Chains A and B, each alone.
Chain A
Amino acid sequence: MTINMGPQHPATHGVLRLVLELDGEIVAKATPHIGHLHRGVEKLGESKTYHQFIPLTDRLDYTNAMGNNLAYVLAVEKLLDIEVPKRAQYLRVMMAELQRIAAHLIWLGTHVLDLGATTPIFYTFREREDILGIFDDVAGGRLTPTYMRIGGVSKDLPNGIEEKIKAFVQAFPEHMKEYETLLTENVIWLKRTKEVGIISRQDVINWGVTGPTLRGSGVKWDVRKAFPYSSYDEFDFDIPIGSVGDAYDRYVVRLREMEWSNSIVKQALEKLPKGPVIAEDPRVPLPSKEAVMTDIASLIRHFKVVSEGFYPPKGEVYASVESAKGELGFYIISDGSNHPFRVRIRPPSFLNLSALPKMIEGSLIADVVTTIGSIDIVLGEIDR
């Protein structure tokens, strides 16, 4: 029998369509169909200036906007070869890690909801709300903050926000205990996730899978450690890994990751250096509002940067970050003009999803929902 699952199905986390060929209750063949959310972001990038592309990156993986911003600006900074001030680097790390916690909280709430537990989503969205409140204060936006700028961040921390972040960081370990009490040793949870959606160490590497799904299968690899960006080498954290490569291992890996992210935010807050938050470069960043209002040269420069952008050297660069889903990379080719010749986005969810048939073929149809949830996909990033 052939079953069509999705694209409008609550457990496919967006508009994913799966065609399942069944043999009784066993999935014989699974064929994912994607592209329902294709907006042509890579094509749009070719007709925009480098600054104008930043807001589009928020809308790729909309649960991980800060990480997407960061990956893109890192690529452009590499192309321009500009140095980002230390304070901006630390602020970027802080926001990216808060965003990782928020993204994992959405995943935890919805994944568990798919499997029938209604309670945890109310807990996880409570903490996520705190993080989005922090983003609202810092950047002026909750889901799509567009906080990063080429050369730094859009603005420094507002007054009183450090106490707010500190309060969150202190309270979060207690909240983690609440989630764990509900799930980690819950018999129903163990029965639904243990030995489900297994993928081996060789297979994850061969299929190009990254992120918690890679680490759940026992590969100790993380972009933050392999290619440290934005001063990640100055923070003390570990990479949690699983052993079996099933849905439960991926669950544990993400929980431990949230704890480490919380610790990184704490360290960043303690060590936060003083200084400017955006690079001093006449070509790229916008001059401050005060300078624009008082100084004609800054006004002209502001006009030039907004209307025309800047002209990076010819060349091609690749920069990637560890987003909540895996390795998110931007490959930019510049032909020397003020807009990119080619912007290629390396979406982690795209490759993680391509390994889905490998994980679910031969398993029960009820486990398909578990497996989709456990690899944590976002279709906005897959379809671009």
Chain B
Amino acid sequence: MAEIQSPIDKLKEKFPASIQEVKTFRGEVTVTVSKKDIYEISKFLYSDPDLQFQFLTDLCGVDFFSEVPRFEVVYLLYSMKNNLRLRLKAKVAEGESISSVESIWKAANWLEREVYDLFGISFENHPDLRRILLWDGYEGYPMRKDYPVEGPDFDKPFVPEV
């Protein structure tokens, strides 16, 4: 456990105000941080010589419908140097945006576009924030919990205009 404490301790030391919650479940460490510092924290974790979280394994959104703030953006970081994973989370309210980490990890480029596409969370300073899986002009954000699995118009037959 001593190993996985060190990034947490470093974060607590460096950003005491923005660490909201630290949880460990089945050996996986999750840190919830405040949204406004996500860029600075990411940059620190990426460039700190002891930590070197240079690999962004995954970035995804989660919708906790009816909770406030509604969304979470989840970052799964990996350090090849220490063979260590760390999960970062930031809560985002509906209609709010969060800083892009694309300039730190290029991997975030498409992953953030996917979150934007399916959840409608926008990312500040993203170079190319467009829908990725769905087409331009699609209405709604399908991964939100209030979006029906069958689609919003499953009971309306599609009749093309003649």
Contacts and interface: CB of A to CB of B under 8 A. Distances in A.
Contacts, number: 89
A42 B133 contact: no
B28 A316 contact: yes
Contact of B57 (A207, A315, A329, A355): A329
Interface stretch (B13-21, B37-45, B101-109): B101-109
Nearest to B56: A208
A187 interface: no
Contact of A42 (B55, B56, B106, B143): B143
Contact of B134 (A35, A208, A358): A35
A226 B78 CA distance: 11
Interface string A331-361: 1010000000110101000110011001000
Nearest to A78: B26
Contacts of A79: 26
Please indicate which of the listed interface residues B28, B55, B62, B87 has the most CB atoms of chain A within 10 Å of its own CB: B55
A206 B135 CA distance: 27
Interface residues of A, number: 41
B107 A354 contact: yes
B158 interface: no
Contacts of A147: none
A5 interface: no
B54 interface: yes
Contact of A329 (B58, B111, B134): B58
Interface string A45-75: 0110000000000000000000000000000
B126 to A, nearest CB: 13
Given A35-B134, A205-B54, A329-B58, A40 B26 contact: no
Contact of A207 (B63, B106, B132): B106
Contacts of A351: 107, 110-111
Given A315-B26, A354-B110, A208 B105 contact: yes
Interface in B51-99: 54-58, 60, 62-63, 74, 76, 80, 83, 85, 87
Contacts of B56: 208
A318 B8 CA distance: 19
A219 B54 CA distance: 13
Contact of B55 (A40, A44, A208, A320): A208
Contact of B107 (A207, A221, A344): A207
A351 B6 CA distance: 29
Interface of A is mostly: mixed
B74 A331 contact: yes
Interface in A176-212: 203, 205-208
A344 B56 CA distance: 15
A38 interface: yes
Contacts of B109: 354
Given A318-B28, A354-B107, A205 B55 contact: yes
Contacts of A342: 62-63
B76 A318 contact: yes
Contact of B60 (A206, A331, A383): A331
Contacts of B147: 43
A81 interface: yes
Contact of A35 (B85, B133, B143): B133
Interface of B: 25-26, 28, 30, 54-58, 60, 62-63, 74, 76, 80, 83, 85, 87, 105-107, 109-111, 131-135, 142-143, 147, 149
29 contacts: A35-B132, A35-B133, A35-B134, A35-B135, A38-B134, A40-B142, A40-B149, A43-B142, A47-B149, A205-B55, A205-B80, A206-B54, A206-B105, A206-B106, A206-B107, A207-B107, A208-B55, A208-B56, A208-B107, A219-B80, A315-B25, A316-B87, A333-B62, A342-B62, A344-B58, A346-B57, A350-B110, A355-B106, A383-B133
Interface of A: 34-35, 38, 40, 42-44, 46-47, 78-79, 81, 203, 205-208, 219, 221, 226-227, 315-318, 320, 327, 329, 331, 333, 341-342, 344, 346, 350-351, 354-355, 358, 383-384
Given A35-B135, A333-B62, A344-B74, 7 more contacts: A35-B132, A40-B142, A78-B26, A207-B106, A320-B57, A346-B57, A354-B110
